[in-house]
Amino acid sequence: MSKKLVFLLSFFSTLNSFAQETIIGATMHYMYQLPYGSVATQYGSNSNAGFGLNIKLINNFTFGAEGQFMFASKYNDFSVLGSMVTSGGFIIGENNTIEVPELEGRGGNFFIEAGKIFPLGTKNLNSGLHIKAGVGYLFYSVYNNADVVSATQLGGEYFNGYNRLESGWSLQSFIGYTLYSNSRLLNGSIGVQTIYTSTSFKGVADYATSLIPDQSGRNSFFIGPKIALTIALKRFQKKDPKADGYFYN
């Protein structure tokens, strides 16, 4: 094989490795979110972990679906438990046991999204600035970590009367950097995600007040850094008829 042919094969092989691809991936992520708006009056910052499936087309448009679990948010309003909490901040359970309630905000967000990757150079056309937006459904509630075996007033069917469940539609946006490496070993993204949601009370009643809470919409934001790792399940590369090292007329 001539040196010229070896050079051509090597040259086109290199170009092919940098070519844009269609990539199907599975993504796991973690976020740290700060609440703003109505939700911030009761809930503190939270963690967000989730899983998604996505596809990047050869033209760098992206589409995906994602589910998120929101947890570890301190709930600041103990009035949700009504008069069962004593002035000392504890609950008297069965057999006069003492239970110290720990309230946590938990929830979930499910959405579909679309976006586009804008390469920042020619060495890797599958990676770059990633801008995307989505629409979905979010729910959030109070979770009580007290032992319901002892504090029976919080167990069974009573549990849902103290969780102040709210839910509604959500909008989300992401801006950051997404990497699909040429080595195919490291794929993922890092950036900032913003979630806007309009939620309303979805429970039957609030047992603490014996009233149905205001069901008008509550507008809130969750904002924070997001880091994700992606497993490329399948990659399809557009075939170049000249990529075998020969020229065709």
Q: What is the torsional sign of CA 17, 23, 29, 33?
A: positive
Average pLDDT over residues 90-105: 78
The dihedral built from the CA positions of residue 146, 148, 152 and 158, taken in this order, carries a sign that is: positive
How is domain 23-236 classified at the architecture level of CATH?
Answer: Beta Barrel (2.40)
pLDDT digit string, tens, across residues 175-198: 999 999 988 889 999 999 999 999
Residue spans of the domains in the chain: they are 23-236
**With contact defined as beta carbons under 8 Å apart, do 130 and 189 qualify?**
yes
pTM recorded for the entire structure: 0.82
pLDDT tens per residue, range 49-93: 999 999 999 999 999 999 999 999 998 777 788 777 776 667 777
Assess contact for 166 and 218: CB atoms under 8 A.
yes
Q: What are the φ and ψ backbone dihedral angles of 177, each rounded to 5 degrees?
A: -120, 130
| Integer Cα distance of 69 and 118 in angstroms | 29
User: CA–CA separation, 101 vs 151, rounded Å?
Assistant: 10
Residue 171, CA atoms < 13 Å, CB-side half-sphere: 5
* Closest of 53, 175, 187, 179 to residue 119, by C-alpha: 179
